[in-house]
A and B are shown apart, each in its own frame.
Chain A
Amino acid sequence: MPANHPIELLRFNTCGSVDDGKSTLIGRLLYDSKNLMEDQLEALERSADITGGGQINLANLTDGLRAEREQGITIDVAYRYFATPRRKFIVADTPGHVQYTRNMVTGASTANLSIVLVDARQGVIEQSRRHTYIASLLRIPHLVIAVNKMDLVDWSHERFLEIRDDFGSFLPRLDMKDVKFIPMSALNGDNVVDPSKHTPWYVGPTLLGHLEDVHIASDWNLSGFRLPVQWVNRPNTPRDPALHDFRGLSGQIAGGIVKVGQKVMVLPSGLKSTVKEIWTYSGKLQEAFCPQSVTLVLADDLDISRGDMVVGLDSMPGVGTDLHARVAWMHPRPLQRGKKYLLKHTTQTVQSVVTALENRIDIHTYEPQPEPAELAMNDIGEIRLKVAKPLVFDGYATNRLTGSFVLIEPGTNATVAAGMLQPPLEAVKPEYNDFAI
Chain B
Amino acid sequence: MSSYHLDHLQYLETEAIHIMREVAAEFERPVLLFSGGKDSICLLRLAEKAFRPSDLPMPFLNVETGHEFPELIEFRDRRAKELGAKLIVRTVDQAIADGTAMPAPGEISRNKLQIPVLLGAIEEFRFDCAIGGARRDEEKARAKERFFSFRDGFGQWDPKNQRPEIWNLYNARVNPGENMRVFPLSNWTEMDVWEYIKQEKLEVPNIYFSHTRECFRRGGQWLPVPTPHADASRPDPYEGARPRPNEKRATMVVRVRTIADMISTGMIESPATSVDDIIGEVSAARVTERGTRADDKASEAAMEDRKKAGYF
Contact partner of B7 among A7, A76, A243, CB < 8 A?
A7
> Least Cβ distance of B18 to chain A in Å?
4
Q: Mark A68-84, 1 if CB is under 8 A from B, else 0.
A: 01000001111111010
Q: Is the CB of A281 within 8 A of B52?
A: yes
Is there a chain B Cβ closer than 8 Å to A47's Cβ?
Answer: yes
A47-B300, A79-B136, A222-B4 given as contacts; is B21 within 8 A of A105 (CB)? no
Residue of B nearest to A232 (CB): B25
- When distances are taken between beta carbons in the complex, the residues of chain B under 8 Å from A106 are 164-166
Q: Are B141 and A230 closer than 8 Å at their CB atoms?
A: no
| Known interface pairs A217-B1, A342-B173; A293-B191 also in contact (CB < 8 Å) | no
B18 pairs with A37, CB closer than 8 A: no
The answer to whether A230 and B288 have CB atoms under 8 Å apart is no
Instruction: Report the minimal beta-carbon distance from B165 to chain A, rounded to whole angstroms.
Output: 5
The 8 A CB mask of B6-17 against A (1 = contact, 0 = none) is: 111011111101
Interface size in chain B (residues, C-beta < 8 A): 61
CA distance A38 to B51 in the complex (A): 40
Contact of B171 among A7, A231, A408 (CB under 8 A): A408
Residues B51 and A233 in contact, CB atoms below 8 Å apart: yes
| A303 beta carbon closer than 8 Å to chain B | no
Chain A residues with CB under 8 A of B137? 80-81
B86 proximal to A (CB < 8 A): no
The interface bits of chain A over 282-305 (1 if a CB of B lies within 8 angstroms of the residue's CB, else 0) are 100000010111000000000000
* Residues A405 and B169 in contact, CB atoms below 8 Å apart: yes
A413 pairs with B300, CB closer than 8 A = no
Q: Does B140 contact A (CB under 8 A)?
A: yes
- Decide: A230 and B287 in contact? CB cutoff 8 A: no
Q: How far is the CA of A222 from the CA of B5 in the complex (A)?
A: 10
- Smallest distance from the beta carbon of A3 to chain B beta carbons, Å? 14
Contact B55 A293 (CB under 8 A): no
**Is residue B2 contacting chain A, with contact meaning CB distance below 8 A?**
yes
- Given A236-B55, A292-B14, also A67-B187 (CB < 8 A): no
Question: Separation in Å of the A277 CB from the closest CB of chain B?
Answer: 12
Q: Which residue from A83, A237, A238 sits with its C-beta under 8 Å from B191? A: A83
- Nearest neighbor of B170 in chain A, beta-carbon distance: A344
Instruction: Decide: B140 and A64 in contact? CB cutoff 8 A.
Output: yes
Provided the pairs A38-B287, A252-B18 are in contact, do residues A235 and B54 lie with their beta carbons within 8 angstroms? Answer: yes
Q: What residues of B have a CB within 8 angstroms of the CB of A6 in the complex? A: 1, 5, 7-8
Our pick among A235, A279, A293 for the contact of B50 (Cβ within 8 Å) is A293
Task: Give, as a whole number of angstroms, the nearest-CB distance from A141 to chain B.
Answer: 14
Known: A110-B168, A233-B54. A81 touches B18 (CB 8 A): no
A238 touches B141 (CB 8 A): no
Are the CB atoms of A7 and B8 closer together than 8 Å?
yes
CB < 8 Å neighbour of A401 from B4, B164, B167, B304: B167
- A174 on interface, CB distance cutoff 8 Å: no
> Once the chains are docked, how many angstroms separate the CA of A282 from the CA of B17?
13
Q: List 20 A-B contacts (CB under 8 A).
A: A6-B8, A8-B7, A39-B287, A39-B291, A64-B141, A66-B300, A76-B160, A80-B143, A88-B192, A90-B187, A217-B5, A230-B18, A233-B51, A251-B18, A291-B15, A293-B17, A344-B169, A406-B167, A415-B171, A418-B166
Identify the B interface with A (CB < 8 A): 1-2, 4-8, 10-15, 17-18, 21-22, 24-25, 48-55, 136-137, 139-141, 143-144, 159-160, 162-169, 171, 173-175, 186-187, 189, 191-192, 285-288, 291, 300-301, 304
